[in-house]
Amino acid sequence: MSDPDVIVVGGGISGLSAAWWLARSGRSVEVWEQDARLGGKIASRQADGYLTERAASMMLNFRPEVSQLLAAIGLDDARIPCPSAPQCQRYLVRNRGLVSVPMRLGALVRSPLWSLRGKLRLLAEPLVPRGGHPDETVSEFVVRRLGREVLETAMEPFVAGPLASDPDQASAHAVLPRLVALEQRYGSLVIGASVRRILRRGTAPVRELFSFDGGMATLIRALSATSGVRFRARCTARHLEPTRSGWRLTGQMPERELTVRARELVLSVPAPAAAALLHPLDSDLGRLLDGIEYGALTVVHVAFDRSAIRHPLDGMGFLVPRSEGLPLTGCQWMSSTFPARAPRGKALLTCYVGGARAPQTRDWTDSRSIDAVMALLEPLLGIDAAPEQVWIDRHESGLPLYHGAYFGRLHAMTKRLRNWSGLHLAANYRGGVSVRDRITCAHATARRIHTSLAGSRSAGSATAFDSSTTPAVLRSLG
């Protein structure tokens, strides 16, 4: 096989999506993956009638690029939508009990989640003057615009749960780019959101929450079957160097060393792996990548006979605010959200332990993690029996933490990349951590590469940050 147009290092969702978009545009592509399987952290486990997810369990989509990809790879009919209310109800833990989170702003104002003072502070948001600074944290931004109660009851559980991060350290520009943009443009989140709704009336994209028949691994299998892409499993990139016509990449396979040339190179690997490859070439870029922190996560799946749980499980699950002082950040009621994930008469709950809130949990044994989960679930859900089955997935480097002056770090990385024609960084430390974000960013990367290979100027800059979900009070603003 002749040298490809593009080599993609990393066979996770970022790399596979980039390869698919490139192949669709007629480019020859190789994907190098050091593991024996493709998909990165996305993997679905089926056992005894249960289906558990190692990482991402569903998608929230409102991007046309994602819809286009799913339709083209034949997954429209494989999608399993989240049932309509009440199954999509969300809860928060408060004083070791569950409080439902209203999904509309009017209901939120009437909710017992906040005091009268907190509600008045929220309603006063349009009167708050424009402010902020480039290194403003999520906590600073939310308190300044919406008040501390909104931070503690809405934003902190979201940042600590789905993002495994700490709002006191996370960059507002990186984690909440759409809300920051509303303030910068309109001076108010409420006014900005209202203007946008009026301007987009009748054209706003539909938000869809879904998984796939067979789990999220179905998406990986479909992308892995992309024609025009050569997949090299158990192939570890060891050394890269620029050439006059592109890049030369040397890797190690079990049986031999491999050297391949390509005009464009995409690194879709975690930041430490990208740093190791780039340090000899660009020490400044390597240091920027080395400075990206990751949060460790433990995912605990517990299965019960449905009769052992007194709670109706009438929703998607719950998030845990830090005020509760617990190492758990949340729990998804998978068998309620997607009934086929468990046998009839059984319940499957997926709980998340650790992240930036509780880094000490990375050293916990399996039994200690299970004990922590059950200590919360038993009184909260009225469980009077031990779990019938337990599965545990550990992620030493679960998710990148957009901590510190992250916006400045990204700008510095982009500036360094301009020195290296044909080199692209496309992983979840740039552009968001959700599956939707990764597909969208891969589309932007592939578009730039295709334009470059066609001999014209790059079409567009890096995709802006966009979180996968937002709490109801903030989602209603954007």
Per-residue pLDDT reduced to its tens digit, 37-55: 999 999 999 999 999 999 9
pLDDT in tens, 157-178: 999 998 999 999 999 999 999 8
pLDDT of residue 194: 84
Distance, CA of 166 to CA of 168 (rounded, Å): 5
For residue range 332-361, list pLDDT tens digits in order: 999 999 999 999 999 999 999 999 999 999
pLDDT in tens, 69-121: 999 999 999 999 987 655 578 899 999 899 988 766 666 667 788 888 988 89
Crossing angle of the two packed helices 13-24 and 435-453, in degrees rounded to 10: 40
Percentage of the residues of the chain whose pLDDT score is greater than 70: 91
pLDDT greater at residue 82 or residue 144: 144
First to last CA, the chain: 48
Mean pLDDT value of segment 16-24: 97
pLDDT at 87: 59
Residue 83: the pLDDT is 78
Q: What is the DSSP letter of 154?
A: I
Length of the chain: 478
Question: How much is the pLDDT for 193?
Answer: 83
Q: Please check whether residue 174 is in contact with residue 411, taking contact to mean a CB–CB distance below 8 angstroms.
A: no
d(CA 141, CA 176): 9
Query: What pLDDT was estimated at residue 222?
Result: 97
CATH fold of 103-199: protoporphyrinogen ix oxidase, domain 3 (1.10.3110)
Please report which confidence band the pLDDT of residue 473 belongs to, taking 50, 70 and 90 as the band edges: very low
Q: Tell whether the model's pLDDT for residue 457 goes beyond 80.
A: no
How large is the average pLDDT for residues 448-461? Answer: 69
Average pLDDT rounded to a whole number, residues 419-438: 96
Q: Map out the domains of the chain as residue ranges.
A: 6-42+63-79+213-292+404-453, 103-199
Q: What is the pLDDT of residue 455?
A: 80
pTM, 2 dp: 0.90
- pLDDT at residue 85 in the model: 55
Token digits of residue 449: 């590469």
Mean pLDDT over 271-295 rounds to 97
- Quote the mean pLDDT of the chain: 90
Q: What is the average per-residue pLDDT within 197-220?
A: 84
pLDDT of residue 192: 87
Q: Give the pLDDT band of residue 195 (cuts 50, 70, 90).
A: confident
Cα distances from 320 to residues 129, 144, 358, in angstroms, run 31, 23, 12
Measure the CA–CA gap between 322 and 324, rounded to whole angstroms: 5
Token pair for residue 325?
């002082």
The model's pLDDT over 56-66, given as tens digits with 9 standing for 90+, comes to: 999 999 999 99
Q: Judge contact between 411 and 440, C-beta under 8 A.
A: no
Q: What percent of the chain has pLDDT over 90?
A: 80
227 vs 21, 26, 73, 160, 444, CA distance in Å?
Answer: 11, 10, 11, 39, 20
pLDDT greater at residue 369 or residue 462: 369
CATH pick for 6-42+63-79+213-292+404-453 out of 3.40.50.300, 3.40.50.720, 3.50.50.60, 3.40.50.1860: 3.50.50.60
